[in-house]
Amino acid sequence: MARGTPVVGFDTGGILDMVSQGETGWLAETEDVRELGNALESALEDDAERRRRGKRCRTVVENEYTLDVQAAAYEKLYEDLLRRQENY
């Protein structure tokens, strides 16, 4: 995704946290190999849609997954936890 490549995969595990069906990739129901094959075909057949989703991937990574964004999220989490601890 960081390289602007949309994802084709199963809708399971951590992939659901990062990949949005129709936005940053194509998802198939877990263990449905036929559906995964259809998703791959869709991704390979439509250059314009693949480019659109690829651009969206890059935008998502820049907005949600850069080191600065992740560090700020952890900092906020730790500050919130410390505030809670002080209130006990």
DSSP for 16-46?
Answer: HHH--BTTTEEEE-TT-HHHHHHHHHHHHH-
pLDDT of amino acid 62: 94
- From its phi and psi, is residue 32 left (phi > 0), alpha (psi between -120 and 50) or beta? beta
pLDDT of amino acid 31: 95
pLDDT of amino acid 87: 85
For the entire predicted model, the pTM comes to 0.79
Tens-digit pLDDT string for the chain (88 aa):
999 999 999 999 999 999 999 999 999 999 999 999 999 999 999 999 999 999 999 999 999 999 999 999 999 999 999 999 988 8
